[in-house]
Structure 1
């Protein structure tokens, strides 16, 4: 019984320390230029932080307003994070033509892609009008109906 109570107390202290560390990290990331979300759901960018007054000047769209530091719920994009550059194998002007394949395995020219289309299948000699049973491509008659 005492072990269970000690275990509960241990987890209470551990969770409290985790919350304090998360709050300290949030407060350390409050720098001008960081994108944040307030507890009310408003997204904005920090213009200035006043540590003595515990106020944050926030810009959202064309509006600018001052909120308490504790009104910031989370930092969406910290200042330190550099935006990722998207790498692309194709340059913007190298878009493939309609139907053209691109890649290392395909070396066909642009005009050949339309000529490589398979011809329309002729009537299947295994299927005739008087025999309406299901027959697959190999001639098996056990194909399920779709």
Structure 2
């Protein structure tokens, strides 16, 4: 039996709530690959009621989900690219493999890279096997 329109699957609201994502938000997803947790992406789509915007969008977004692994390159460059997509008071959720997992980021990389990109970390959440770090532009008052 198909879900009723607007029905939120179990766990979807939990992820969305942890990430501060609500119906009506526009969300872009960057860096998704086969190793990512599709439940996170799908649950957010369930809550916002539409598909996540892809990396090529020109739209300004309330939230950018940035999946990042140690081998993906320079995190500062990745963050700066994501800032271009952010609406006023928007935020980046950097999703990286949890500590001790393959491709996990070294200690201090997130805070140092965020600072160099002009961002500040406001919150951290564990999302299954992934670690989420909420990053906002300096001077942004809205902390989620």
- TM-score for the superposition, normalised by structure 1: 0.19
User: Radius of gyration: which is bigger?
Assistant: 1
Q: Which has the higher strand share?
A: 2
- Higher RCO, 1 vs 2 (CA within 8 Å, ≥6 residues apart): 2
- TM-score for the superposition, normalised by structure 2: 0.19
